[in-house]
Amino acid sequence: MKRLDVNELPWSAEAEQSVLGGLLIDNAAWDRCADLLKPASFFDFRHGAIFSVIGSMVLAQKPADVVTVFERLQAEGQVEECGGLAYLNALAQSVPSASNVRRYAEIVAEKAAHRALMQTADEALTVASGHGSYAEKVDRIATQFASLQQTGLRSMPVRVTDLLGPSCDRYNDLAAGNVPPGVSTGIVELDKALGGGLREGKVIVIAARPGVGKSSLSEQILLSAAKAGHVALFLSQEMERDELTDRAVSNLGGIGFSRLQNGNLTDAEWSRLGAAVDALAKLPLYFDDQAALTLQDIRAKAMSLRRDGLRVLVVDYIQLCAGARGARTENRNAEIEEISRGLKKLAKDLKLTVLVLSQLNRKVESRATPEPTLADLRDSGAIEQDADGIVFLWKVRVYEDRKLIALSVPKLRNGQDGARLGLDFQGYYQRWQISKESIASSGDFGSRGGFDS
């Protein structure tokens, strides 16, 4: 039985070289190919290593030319195996300009996808001819082919309209005022606390301990933006698209979130479900649930919606993001610093608002006072430095039908920081609203309010 010969794998040396040559002479071309390629897309290992270095330098806002890339490769001990200065010079001279880099990248990506298919088919042949029952072999082979979705081209954001059909099927199966200068959050008092809503080019950090509701609040903010006609994208590294869709339907329809998930709805809720689905289908809202996002991934996904007018982006959450090489390293602070700086550049480049969700250090739970401080942001002081605004959330009291959540704004660049609000979180409906309780005068900012769930 003939096995796959590596020499038979499809690739284009010319296309790979032309991509790298275009990037070396024009770093701005990165955004025209980053959504298609990753280092593993290149057949020639030298090209993958060079692409990785160029990408990390561009995303760090450092010039990536023949000399600087040579120095980086030399520092990392890869310069000789990558061909040295002579090969980098040859790459830069292989194309007259970077105008066609997108087309070259498409060729490289297509060849990579075909190689992945051929290699998976070869592995399937090995499984089929090996030991095990027929059912076991079929299951293993199916799993291998399903993995092509991860090893081939990157997943791209999916519009919520395309998710509603399957979500509705699951539901049926389970059951047999004021317009601010920026985009409104949907909560007037929060708009004022942020100095006029969500402004272009700004990064707002929403930080809390796990279970307080930062993901839910940010999704409601996106829903509000989308209802106002703004294109919005939620990048979730914790929740799957189905759960994001369920939360949105629950919020819009006033339908119990847990009841929606198990299909145990009343007649009235079934009626509201149809209206909520219809309303959600009309919104320019996108969900993406790829895990371990790199800065390159985030930028590529945002760029894919640039022509549609992407206005608000949520990254949930920054500590789950991966480094430039696609994995976390021991120097986590440096990685978070690079990601934080890159998100700020992305917000400015695309004129959008980026809501960056962040965890707080566990030590905040052991203090006598519950209000977090800027020192409680995890992993890197860069989060505090790069953010235009920082929002803290923490639990104050838990009632039968709601949780009272305190919100503070300890930092607001070019604005008045120090705002404090009380919010009611109705977890049953995944809804947030301003609380009628007076937080600022209740002493809840100065005494232990509790982190109980």
Of the candidates 14, 71, 238, 240, the residue annotated as catalytic is 238
3-state secondary structure the chain: CCCCCHHHCCCCHHHHHHHHHHHHHCHHHHHHCCCCCCHHHCCCHHHHHHHHHHHHHHHCCCCCCHHHHHHHHHHCCCCCCCCHHHHHHHHHCCCCCCCCHHHHHHHHHHHHHHHHHHHHHHHHHHHHCCCCCHHHHHHHHHHHHHCHHHHCCCCCCEEHHHHHHHHHHHHHHHCCCCCCCCECCCCHHHHHHCCCCECCCCEEEEEECCCCCHHHHHHHHHHHHHHCCCEEEEEECCCCHHHHHHHHHHHHHCCCHHHHHHCCCCHHHHHHHHHHHHHHHCCCEEEECCCCCCHHHHHHHHHHCCCCCEEEEEEECHHHCCCCCCCCCCCHHHHHHHHHHHHHHHHHHHCCEEEEEEEECHHHHHCCCCCCCHHHECCCCHHHHHCCEEEEEEEEEECCCCEEEEEEEEEECCCCCCEEEEEEEECCCCEEEECCCCCCCCCCCCCCCCCCC
Could you confirm whether 243 is annotated as catalytic? no
Instruction: List residues with catalytic annotation.
Output: 238
